[in-house]
């Protein structure tokens, strides 16, 4: 027997219409390139996103056609997030930090027909224009500079929408958005988000036991909207009617802290490198900013070091550690404490919070090694596999990547992990970042987190470097905090972390560097470090420290 309930599609138009009906006056604040603040409200957002949908249809957008974006986080990007899907099309976020040839490859592979772009990013587009077949280029004139030939003005494009144009009925399994993985090896791979996946993901991100985003919050996604939909935050905010604070291109610590203060931000989200910088700024000038007490910082994209979680607690700000991937829309686990864990000794609590956390409802997780599922004992390592309604079941038009999906319907993440008896998952490494020394595995993530626990260390990345005797040995690249330059020796850093690890885990070389190269998503680019140090000459006995 079936239930008697209606079939009601889980589509994005519902979120937008409801936001207009119930939260029409709630603000959306965007920082522009000149640092001024653009303000409008859900009423305007609703009207303009629908106008964009109408204008796209009038301009010839057909069902499923792709509307690419090259934009920072601001009101117009948000309008495309909804406007393109409401027209029956698909928004496709492009990462401006990628190499132009990769952007061109991605645009061609996705067959983007429209491009909506910030005027500040036009010089980047000029480098790829000849190599892509995009038909219309619509420019958001953020700086007011005149537009080059062959481009249309975004505001005029909105005005071209026919009055009272009706928008198509949407199905929940229809594609709404698209994003390519920022692959560190091989070609980028496309993931296509359905309306249903984005809606269900929004419900989960609003749960008190995940990111807990509510209509009372003021939410600032620092994570770019071109990186896994800014972790779905703009959709969740629209669903619950939260104030949205979009930081534009200004992602340095002082600009962000100013914005958090002036807009009363209560929830924010980004990769650890952003939060390491902000923590340093707070430590330098502890009383400069009045932040909302208990502000929550969702941290993911790379491991949140335990020392950083403790550091923010000292300022009354709460790190919420989460794990996810472009392929998982992206939230796949969140580290919140279960009932009773609040009263554990602090070290145990921090250890749980530094893990990547437990799966939310409808995400299944398992760890598999040599074809066998590993026990939840907190020690047995293997590849993390996941499944769920917002986990991709394939890559867009890339059958050769079918190896990442198992026969029994799981997605292979490429992350090496273990799961403890309470269900808390811990990422140990990317498969390719693990260090194999004398046949045994060493976790680069654990070493990095321990090094970043030293008060003089701003950032640390540990890589495997070929070694004649052991196969590979760990080498640590360390960036000192500004005020700590020259105040420590590499040997001291080794001594500092030594009590936490077996002796053979300790990096054989600790090298002080000015900066660690980053991926387009702001994570440590270990491949570049590996290339730099591949011919490193280990001293006799392998105990070099500088
Ligand atoms: P992306 O698709 O660019 O978001 O990258 C996804 C990858 O980032 C994952 O497969 C992990 O390797 C890594 N990642 C994401 N969140 C975390 C986390 N909290 N801790 C460690 N690694 C993470």
Mean pLDDT of 467-480: 90
Q: Is the pLDDT of residue 345 over 60?
A: yes
How many Å apart are CA 14 and CA 446, to the nearest integer? 44
Lowest mean pLDDT among 86-100, 114-128, 337-351, 479-493: 479-493
The residue whose CA is least distant from atom 23 of ligand 1 is 302
Q: What is the mean pLDDT of residues 458-487?
A: 90
Nearest alpha-carbon partner for 121 in 110, 133, 129: 129
Q: Is 415 in the pocket of ligand 1 (CB under 6 A)?
A: yes
| pLDDT for res 186 | 64
Q: Is the pLDDT of residue 482 over 90?
A: no
Q: Verify whether ligand 1 is closer than 6 Å to residue 522 (CB atom).
A: no
**Overall average pLDDT of the 446-465 stretch:** 93
Q: For 266-325, how does the pLDDT look when each residue is reduced to its tens digit (9 = 90+)?
A: 999 999 989 999 999 999 999 999 999 999 999 999 899 999 999 999 999 999 999 999
Q: What is the mean pLDDT of residues 478-502?
A: 90
Sheet strand arrangement including 425-430 = 372-373, 364-369, 382-387, 411-419, 425-430
Q: Could you give the CA distance from residue 542 to residue 467 in angstroms, rounded to a whole number?
A: 9
Q: Give CA–CA dist 492/7, Å, rounded.
A: 64
CA 323 to ligand 1 center in whole angstroms: 6
Q: What pLDDT, on a 0 to 100 scale, did the predictor assign at position 164? A: 82
Sign of the alpha-carbon dihedral angle for 245, 249, 251, 257? negative
| 540 pLDDT above the threshold of 50 | no
Is the model's pLDDT at 67 over the cut of 60?
A: yes
At residue 2, the 3 state secondary structure works out as coil
- Counting ligand 1 atoms within 8 A of each CB, the residue from 415, 426, 519 with the most, and so the one to mutate, is 415
Query: What confidence score (pLDDT) does residue 183 get?
Result: 59
% of the chain exceeding 90 in pLDDT: 84
Cis peptide before 330 (omega within 30 of 0): yes
Phi, psi of 14 (to 5 degrees): -60, -45
Cβ of 357 closer than 6 Å to ligand 1, yes or no, is no
Rounded Cα distance, 426 and 303, in Å: 9
Helix H, strand E, coil C: the string for 504-521 is HHCCCEEEECCCCCECCC
Looking at residue 522, its pLDDT comes to: 82
In this predicted model, which residue has the larger pLDDT, 214 or 182? 214
Report how far ligand 1's centroid is from the alpha carbon of 371 (Å). 23
39 C-alpha to center of ligand 1: Å?
Answer: 33
Catalogue the active-site residues.
181, 327, 436, 441
Q: How far is the CA of 111 from the centre of ligand 1 (A)?
A: 27
Q: What is the mean pLDDT of the chain?
A: 94
pTM metric for this prediction: 0.90
Split at pLDDT 50, 70, 90, the class of 184 is low
Sign, CA dihedral 519-295-332-226, equals negative
Give residue 369's pLDDT: 94
Residue 300 Cβ < 6 Å to ligand 1? yes
Q: What percent of the chain has pLDDT over 70?
A: 98
Q: Which atom of ligand 1 is nearest to the CA of 228?
A: 4
* pLDDT number for residue 185: 53
């Amino acid at each position: 027997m079936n239930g008697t309930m209606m079939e009601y599609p889980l589509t994005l138009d519902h979120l937008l219409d409801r936001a207009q009906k119930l939260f029409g006056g709630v603000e959306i604040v965007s920082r522009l390139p000149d640092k001024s603040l653009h303000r409008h409200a859900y009423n305007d957002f609703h009207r303009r996103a629908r106008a964009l949908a109408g204008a796209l249809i009038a301009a010839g957008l057909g069902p499923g056609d792709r509307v690419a974006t090259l934009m920072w986080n601001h009101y117009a990007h948000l309008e495309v997030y909804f406007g393109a899907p409401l027209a029956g099309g698909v928004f496709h976020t492009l990462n401006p930090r990628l190499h132009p040839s990769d952007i061109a490859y991605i645009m061609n592979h996705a067959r983007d027909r429209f491009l909506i772009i910030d005027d500040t990013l036009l010089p980047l587009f000029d480098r790829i224009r000849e190599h892509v077949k995009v038909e219309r280029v619509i420019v958001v004139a953020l700086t007011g500079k005149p537009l080059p030939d062959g481009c249309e003005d975004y505001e005029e494009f909105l005005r071209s929408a026919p009055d009272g144009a009706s928008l198509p009925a949407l199905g929940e399994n229809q594609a709404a958005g698209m994003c390519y993985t920022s692959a560190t090896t091989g070609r980028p791979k496309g993931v296509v988000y359905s309306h249903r996946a984005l809606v269900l993901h929004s419900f989960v991100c609003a749960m008190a036991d995940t990111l807990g985003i509510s209509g009372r919050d003021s939410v600032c996604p620092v994570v770019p909207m071109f990186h896994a939909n800014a972790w779905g935050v703009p959709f969740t905010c629209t669903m619950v009617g939260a104030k949205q604070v979009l930081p534009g291109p200004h992602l340095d610590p002082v600009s962000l802290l100013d914005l958090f203060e002036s807009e009363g931000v209560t929830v924010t989200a980004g990769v650890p490198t952003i939060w390491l910088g902000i923590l340093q700024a707070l430590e330098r000038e502890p009383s400069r900013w009045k932040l909302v007490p208990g502000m929550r910082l969702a941290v993911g994209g790379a491991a949140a070091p335990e020392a950083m979680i403790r550091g923010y607690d000292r300022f009354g700000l709460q790190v919420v550690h989460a794990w996810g991937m472009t392929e998982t829309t992206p939230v796949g686990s969140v580290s919140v404490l279960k009932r009773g864990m609040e009263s554990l000794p602090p070290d145990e609590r921090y250890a749980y919070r530094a893990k990547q956390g437990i799966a939310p409802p409808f995400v299944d997780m398992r760890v598999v090694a040599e074809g066998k599922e590993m026990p939840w004992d907190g020690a047995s390592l293997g590849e993390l596999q996941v499944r769920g309604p917002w986990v991709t079941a394939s890559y867009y038009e890339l059958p050769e990547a079918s190896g990442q999906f198992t026969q029994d319907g799981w997605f292979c993440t490429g992350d090496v992990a273990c799961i403890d008896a309470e269900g808390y998952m811990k990422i140990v490494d990317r498969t390719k970042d693990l260090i194999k020394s004398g046949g045994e595995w060493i976790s680069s993530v654990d070493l990095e987190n321990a090094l970043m626990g030293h008060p003089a260390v701003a950032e640390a990345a540990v890589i495997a470097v070929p070694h004649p005797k052991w196969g590979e040995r760990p080498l640590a690249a360390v960036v000192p905090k500004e005020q700590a330059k020259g105040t420590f020796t590499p040997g001291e850093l080794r001594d500092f972390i030594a009590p936490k690890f077996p002796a053979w885990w300790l990096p054989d070389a600790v090298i002080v560097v000015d900066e660690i190269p980053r991926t387009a998503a702001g994570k440590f680019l270990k491949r570049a470090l590996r290339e730099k140090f591949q011919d490193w000459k280990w001293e006799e006995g392998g105990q070099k420290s500088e």
